[in-house]
Amino acid sequence: MKVGFVSLGCSKNLIDTEITIGMFKEHLYTIENDPEKAEIIVINTCGFIDTAKEEAINTILEMAQYKKKKCKYLIVMGCLVQRYYDELVKCLPEVDLFIKLEEYDNLWEKIDDLIKRDIVVKSKEKTKKIPMLEQLDYVNRLITTGNNYAYLKIGEGCSNRCTYCAIPNIRGPFVSRKKEDILEEAKMLAKKGITEIIVIAQDTTKYGIDLYGEPKLVELLEELSHIKEFKWIRFLYSYPEGITQELIELVAKNKKIAKYFDIPIQHISNQILKRMNRKTNKEQIQKLIKNIREQIPDVVLRTSLIVGFPGETREQFEELKEFVKEAKFDKLGAFMYSKEEGTPASRLPEQIHGNTKKSRYNQIMKIQQIISKQNLEKRIGKKYEVLIEDMSFDKKYYVGRTMQDVPEIDGLVYIKNTSKQNQLNKYVMCKIEAVEDYDMIAKFEGR
């Protein structure tokens, strides 16, 4: 039978999808990209915030239309199912099987029962928060991100308990994977030709604390850098309180590790940070940014912010705006606060009106657009190694990324197609000639 997949949400979710694809491949099913031809459609959902939930429901309804054609089974899994299982079963009879996160350790058994014997066993009461990481078949996952890069998940869940976030309720507390399992998967990825590895978890700086009694991210990154096939290594989502001097020094000295910190700070007002149950304050955040930039002059800093958090005053928002202007982050993403049921913040008084949140979001992004352009302009005339991954539609440009750009998130480099050889999937030296709002224009440059 032919199986089609839709993966929604974050890169951590994508890995779960890739593992599921690998299971179907291992059992000799054919993977089909066209939903009209698929006899089975599997949707991996996100249930983090309102927009993600809306996208997931719309996708389920859209894919359900294919049951009028060739599709025989519609399977839905992931965070939305974990969070709203009973409601989904009642409201979406079009779905043949819902699979919670806690059932991933017998994922194939449930799928096999449905397809081979038409048995649908309703989920039992929740017994554990997360899938058993050691039983998920990471090694046989099928990589869907192309020839060059892949994500490497080093832990599940989150223990930070920020008051706005539902992830601990959905995915449970932070649980690290064993280092041996991670390295085994990394070597498998290297054998498949992957040259860029992206280490991810909800908070990568917490890696190892639950297993080994102390943070082990630095040790893990060092061991990954010893795998000769890897040319670029990056880690994402490092909370500010977990960024140690040892980690900064590793990024500064290790040539394989991208000089890139993705630090979700969420706000800068001490009062708001306290209400968010964040573990740092304004002064610590400012000191950290200064420290990183002093030790790694060419570092790229990315952050994420929440505007419109309950009780955010005009003065606190102005404080945030001034901080964005002063900090001059290379990359910045902003989100309007989403009131999520079951979270402490959803019960806070002084919820902010939607129009105010939208206005504040627009103001932050307008400021950041100017800063991003200014930061990019500093790169004009400089040389960078670029990984070429695509070509423009008219074939006039190769399209790639520098080591300082995360795929699907950051900007691109457009390189004038003057080479006589095919440069796809190669690392080449380029010189930046011009910039747009978030992208750069370059030409090939000899080493």
Q: List, in sequence order, every residue forming a beta bridge with 398; answer none if it has no partner.
A: 391, 415
Strand order in the sheet with 331-336: 260-262, 300-307, 331-336
In a domain, 125, yes or no: no
Q: Which of 333, 10, 14, 6 is nearest to 146 (CA)?
A: 14
Which pLDDT value is given to residue 437?
A: 77
- Residue 98, domain CATH: 3.40.50.12160
Backbone angles phi, psi at 388, to 5 degrees: -90, 125
Provide the CA 8 distance to its chain's centre, in angstroms: 11
Tokens (6 digits) for 167? 């992830």
Query: How many domains are there within the chain?
Result: 3
Q: List, in sequence order, every residue forming a beta bridge with 305; answer none if it has no partner.
A: 266, 334
| Dihedral class, residue 2 (left if φ above 0, else alpha if ψ from -120 to 50, else beta) | beta
3-state secondary structure of 85: helix
The domain boundary residue, chosen from 117, 149, 178: 117
- The parent domain of residue 6 ranges over 2-117
Are residues 90 and 6 both part of a single domain? yes
- Are the C-beta atoms of 15 and 153 separated by less than 8 Å? yes
Are residues 289 and 419 both part of a single domain? no
Which pLDDT value is given to residue 124?
A: 59
In a domain, 122, yes or no: no
- Residue 155, domain CATH: 3.80.30.20
- Are the C-beta atoms of 328 and 387 separated by less than 8 Å? no
- Are the C-beta atoms of 265 and 295 separated by less than 8 Å? no
Are residues 234 and 343 both part of a single domain? yes
Backbone angles phi, psi at 51, to 5 degrees: -65, -35
Are residues 335 and 418 both part of a single domain? no
In a domain, 127, yes or no: no
When computed from its CA atoms, the radius of gyration of the chain, rounded to whole angstroms, is 23
In a domain, 367, yes or no: yes
Are residues 351 and 403 both part of a single domain? no
Are residues 281 and 388 both part of a single domain? no
- Residue 407, domain CATH: 2.40.50.140
The domain boundary residue, chosen from 349, 377, 405: 377
In a domain, 25, yes or no: yes
Are residues 201 and 350 both part of a single domain? yes
Are residues 405 and 420 both part of a single domain? yes
- Are the C-beta atoms of 113 and 75 separated by less than 8 Å? no
Q: Which of 150, 145, 137 is nearest to 224 (CA)?
A: 150
Q: What is the pLDDT along the chain (447 residues), one digit of tens a residue?
A: 999 999 999 999 999 999 999 999 998 999 999 999 999 999 999 988 888 899 999 999 999 999 988 999 999 999 999 999 999 999 999 999 999 988 887 888 888 888 887 666 666 555 554 444 444 567 678 999 999 999 999 999 999 999 999 989 888 899 999 999 999 999 999 999 999 999 999 999 999 999 999 999 999 999 999 999 999 999 999 999 999 999 999 999 999 999 999 999 999 999 999 999 999 999 999 999 999 999 999 999 999 999 999 999 999 999 999 999 999 999 999 999 999 988 999 999 999 999 999 999 999 999 999 999 999 999 999 999 999 999 999 999 999 999 999 999 999 999 999 877 889 999 999 999 999 878 999 999 864
Q: Which of 144, 43, 182, 48 is nearest to 408 (CA)?
A: 144
Backbone angles phi, psi at 108, to 5 degrees: -65, -35
Are residues 356 and 408 both part of a single domain? no
Are residues 357 and 218 both part of a single domain? yes
Which pLDDT value is given to residue 131?
A: 46
Provide the CA 136 distance to its chain's centre, in angstroms: 19
Gap between the Cα atoms of 291 and 389, Å rounded: 34
At residue 104's C-alpha, the angle toward residues 99 and 108, to 5°, is: 85
In a domain, 128, yes or no: no
- Are the C-beta atoms of 417 and 389 separated by less than 8 Å? no
Please, what is the angle between helix 217-225 and helix 179-191, to 10°?
Answer: 30
Sign of the CA dihedral 416, 418, 419, 420? positive
Residues whose CB is less than 8 angstroms from the CB of residue 316 and which lie 6 or more positions away in sequence, other chains included: 267, 269, 271, 272
Give pTM, 2 decimals. Answer: 0.91
The domain boundary residue, chosen from 89, 117, 145: 117
In a domain, 309, yes or no: yes
Are residues 164 and 308 both part of a single domain? yes
Are residues 244 and 181 both part of a single domain? yes
Sign of the CA dihedral 30, 35, 41, 47? positive
Tokens (6 digits) for 361? 């979001």
